[in-house]
Structure 1
C-alpha cells in the first residue's frame, strides 16, 4: 500500500528528507510550518502512534514515528485541530514508507552504470542452494546490497530479502532494473542498521569489501552489527585473507564460523564465511 492510501488522502508528502532521517527528532518540527485545517493520527496494532499527517493550503504532510517517539507538540497539535485516528499494521506502514523513499530516490538520483555480469546471479543462486538449501519464505537481510545482484538471487529462491546500502546511485540502478523492490529497500548507513531493522533468521552480504587494514575497522563495525541482526549469516569476499579476517570477527562475536572457497566465481564471491549462532 502507498502512504497516501493508508492515510486515505489524495497525495501526501513525508517531511523527513530521507529514510535515514526518520530517526531524527528535529524533523517533527518541520511539520508545523503552516496552520493546519485537518489532521490524521495513524496508530499501530497496539495503538502506539505511527505517524501524524496535517493538511494545510499546500496539501497533506506527514511525519513518521517508526523510529522515534512523538513529541508533545505533535499530539497537542492533533488534538487542537480535532483530527481523526486511523489504524494500520506497523509492518504495512513501514513497507509503505520504504517504498515512498525508494520511489523518491529513483526519481531524483542518476543510476550508476550497470555492474551486473550476466552469469553472476546464477552463481549466487547456486551458492545459496549449497549453503541454505530451500529457505523459501524466510526473511533475509541483504547487507550492503549495492545494485541488488544478491537480492535478485535471494528472491529467485523465494526468500524475502530486505536490502540496504548507503550508495544512492547503486540503489537507483537496482531499483530501475527491478532487482531491488521499493518496499523492501533502504538507503541507510549499514553501521546504523539496528536502528531501522528488527532481527531476522537469515542474512547475506555479497562481496563485502574490499577489506584492507586501513578500512578494517569500518567493515568490522558493519559486519558485527549485521551479525547481531541475523541467526545464520553468509558473507562473501574476494580473497582468503579477507575471509580469515571476517571469520575472526564472527568467532569473536560468539558465532560458529566456517570458511570455504567458492570456485564458481573467481572474482566477487570467491571466499565465503558462514556464521551461525553457537
Structure 2
C-alpha cells in the first residue's frame, strides 16, 4: 500500500539530484592567472670619461656629469637604442687601457684622434675640431711655442698638449688634469700652460679676475673622436651612423651651440 508513494518520492529525489548535478556541471572552471610579462631587458652603454675637463665633461653643482661630450654621448646612446648610458669617470691616461680590458664599451673625453692611439683603438668619425692654446699671465707676452723654451710649462699628462710641447724641445711639468695645471699657473708654479683651446677659454671665463690671457699655439688643428675596441665594428658602425644622423637633423648643432654659443663648424 505504501510502495507507489515511496516510488514517487524516490523519483522526485532522483530528479532533483540530476538537476543539481547538471547545475554544478555548467559552472565554468576559473580562468588561469595571467602570466606576468617579462621585465624589459635594460640595454646599457658603458662609457668611460675623465670628468674634469670643462666644458666637455665636468661635475655640476649636484655632482652630476655634464658638458658637451656628456650630452652628445647621451643623445648618441638614445639614438642607437640604449635604454641607459652609464658614464664612469677615470684618469685620462687610464681610459684606453680600461677600454681595451672591456670595462667600457666606448670612451668620450675630448680625445684627439692620433695615429698612435688609432693603433690600439677604433675611433668614430671626428666630432669636434680643436687647436692647442698657450695660456699665460697677462704681460708674459708668449706668442708661440718657441717662446716657451726655458720656461716652466704645464700640460695634462698623456694629452696632445704634452706631445706638442715635447716636440718643441721643452720638458713640461705634467698634471693629472688641465684645471690642475691652470691653477698652478694662477699660483705662479708654472709660467704657461698648453692645452685645448675650449678648455683654456672656459677656465679664463670662470676666473675673469685672474689676469690670464691666451693665444693659439702654432700647431695644426686637431679632431676629437669616440674610442671603441678595435674589434667592435658593430658598435663603430652604429656610432658613426647615429653621429651622422644627429648632424643632419640638427641635434648635434643644438648641443654645440648650447656649450659654445656659436653654430658648429663644418668639417
Q: Which has the higher contact order (CA 8 A, sep 6+)?
A: 2
For normalisation by structure 2, the TM-score amounts to 0.22
For normalisation by structure 1, the TM-score amounts to 0.22
Indicate the structure with greater strand content: 1
